[in-house]
Amino acid sequence: MQDNNIIRTEYSELMQKSYIDYAMSVIIARALPDVRDGLKPVQRRVLYDMSELGVKYDKPHRKSARIVGDTMGKYHPHGDSSIYEALVVMAQDFKKGLPLIDGHGNFGSIEGDGAAAMRYTEARLQKVTQEAYLADLDKDVVDFGPNFDETEKEPLVLPVKVPNLLINGAEGIAVGMATSIPPHNFGEVIDGVIAYMKNPDITTEELMQYIQGPDFPTGGIIANKDDLLSIYETGMGKIKVRGKVEYEKLKGGKERLVITEIPYTMIGANIGKFLLDVAALVETKKTSDIVDITNQSSKEGIRIVLDLKKGANVEALENLLYKKTKLEDTFGVNMLAVADGRPETMGLIPIIRHHVNFQYEIATRKYKTLLAKELDKKEIQEGLIEACNVIDLIIEILRGCTNRKDAEKCLTTGDTSNIKFKSKASEKMAKQLRFTERQANAILEMRLYKLIGLEIEALMKDHNETLEKIALYEDLLSHRSSMAKMIMKELTAFKKEYGRPRRTVVDNLAEAVVEEKPIEEKDVVFLMDRFGYAKTIDVSIYERNKETADSENRYTFVCKNTDKICIFTNTGQLHTLKVLDLPAGRLKDKGTPIDNLSNYDSKNENYIYVASLQSVASGKVVFGTKQSMIKLVDGSEFVVAKKTTAATKLADGDEVLAVRALKGNETMIMRSGKEAFLRIECATIPEKKKSAIGVRGMKLDKNDELKNVYILGDGENEMVEVKGKEFALNRLHIGNRDTKGVKK
């Protein structure tokens, strides 16, 4: 490559530009819907392709694979899975307020079952999609642009006549931004649009008389009605959605709670999670009122049944379900869409304003196209009518000329030079003819049967209809009020045919309150074996089996059931878990790995010391590391709400070798890799904050580091092997910190 072809540029600038280009591509051309038609590019392309393939609502279904393949080949070269997923979602009535595709076959379920492969399913357009989303594409109502390889043309936006962005909502994650728009009721949104068209100065509060709030396909109850005004004004906020619970009494005094509607956010795998959460409430004894839970949902709808014991507190149980499960959930609203080529967060009125302006634009373009066609028809009709009045003269002209060109010239300019006439009078009349070129062509191509009286009457009738249409189109194009009436008339017709009752109830409900039963504080014994399996047992069981319990477990100590367990690791982290979260049972029960109950990761760290938070917080904690950094920390610093926190600061390459909560006269023995030992009193170690590295405990030779740190309590001893011989650590004399110690 020659030097003059190399572009020299700053790498950071090139990366920044490239990333911005990528981000904008994702934002505009993939993840966010257009405010005008409420569709993402992939959805728009699927619908347009189905229209081009002729997969209409009154035609047979076509294989989804054919639709996906055609869309990918012509318009959307991003892989078949994204196209098929978009097609499937547009066919799911539990996700879309107004499904745009009529699916035939397995298109998934509300419980999270995926659709069958595209080779097994079939699809076609819904009637409403043809009438309100794809109509008038042949009337130059929207701009078309080249596809990815410039071999086809595709619409840059579909001429959608209803506010689809609100009706079907949208979800999408772009780069640095995301959209989340809830679906709304078809009829309510159309009423809101009509109200805005009648009064463009309408306030959001006034508009909410028509659009009460989101209307989710799964029904449910919106519990914070008062927050909707702020959400619709700013385009952002949180909606609390609850499932619908019914109470049934059965024979024999039995009772049950039946969930018949679920929050929109529970669609899919969250239904299974809800069932597990309810089972967990029973297992953890948060409630004892539930006897059994069954999912009896079917094509007819959701039905999750909770069988209750006699005398169950139904109201308290309902509140518990709202508080502790996904039966009450939050739908985060962020009404972000592409408007005028850039992403914008909009409230209710700006979205409707953009939609209405778009309706005027496509209606204006439509009626301009229709007007031009009617004016062309008028020109030809007037020529044919005039020709019928002088038909004898025209026949004489045709019989007197030798070619079409002479006849056409005579009809348009009155040139009779190459035509033979029977009389001078006829020639004189012919010279006065001034038909347009289009009229002349129509006359020359007219068939003789058109001269029948009834045909002439039909021509006059068509002409009158054409004149009426021209007057109508000119009125619509000249007067905005007339155009508004026409748009509102269309919207009203759509509402009448496709509107449906609201499914979601909008209300202000009191927050669910759960009265936690006070836990009876008592002593329990914490047991943890060398594999990290932990549990608690009653003190009485431990006392009867003390020898067995101590021999089989690495950690054994008494603590309160309301306490927490502290796990100090070699990476300097402290993980905590509640004693109540530990399984309580018998001595022979296996227990649960601490990995499952806390943030402790046995693959990347090792626990050094395990103790109750009460024993840690009530005194001092001593630390010793591989690089011979030691310190004391006040135990109160470890009383934190977080499940994981930094217990100490470590230098690069360092790790914790020993941690212990001190009780009194403990000593620390440091052992180096070169078998140097130093024993010091823990009381002489300086106290530091947990965020400090500490002080040097033992002077080490070059390339040496501590192999072990032992902490012995008063009267304790530990035997270690040094050069093949056993050695008692309590025989070491106590020395001073920051010395070299003695070699063994």
Angle at CA of residue 160, ends 199 and 204, nearest 5°: 30
Largest CA distance in the chain: 149
Phi first, then psi: give them for residue 722, nearest 5 degrees.
-130, 115
- Distance CA(512)–CA(329), nearest Å, equals 12
Q: What are the tokens at 623?
A: 């630390």
The order of strands in the sheet holding 555-560 is 555-560, 523-528, 533-538, 592-593
Q: Report strand pairing: 62-63 vs 122-125.
A: antiparallel
> Among this protein's residues, is 120 annotated catalytic?
yes
Q: Which residues contact 671 (CB under 8 A, 6 or more apart)?
A: 677, 706, 707, 708, 709, 710, 720
β-strand partners of 239 = 331
Helices (H), 517-673: 539-544, 546-552, 594-597, 613-617
What is the C-alpha to C-alpha distance for residues 743 and 739, in angstroms, rounded to an integer?
Answer: 12
Nearest-angstrom CA–CA distance, 634 and 506: 53
The backbone torsions φ and ψ at residue 420, rounded to the nearest 5 degrees and listed phi first, read -95, 125
* SS3 per residue for 687-726: ECCCCCCCEECECCCCCCCEEEEEEECCCCCCEEEECCEE
In what order do the strands lie in the sheet containing 101-104? 62-63, 122-125, 101-104
Question: From edge to edge, which strands make up the β-sheet containing 629-634?
Answer: 656-661, 620-625, 629-634, 695-696
CB 344 within 8 A of CB 336: yes
Which of 11, 22, 84, 120 is an active site residue? 120
Pairwise CA distance, residues 134 & 602, whole Å: 58
Which amino acid would we find at residue 402? T
Compute the residue count for the chain.
744
| Local structure of 187: helix, strand or coil | helix
DSSP state of 508: B
* Tokens coding 566: 């502290």
Instruction: Give me 245's structure tokens.
Output: 């619970």
Contact 123, 91 (CB under 8 A): yes
- Alpha helix (H) residue ranges in 208-268: 228-234
Nearest-10 Cα torsion for 187, 190, 191, 194: -160
| Separation of alpha carbons 744 and 741, rounded Å | 10
Active-site positions read 120
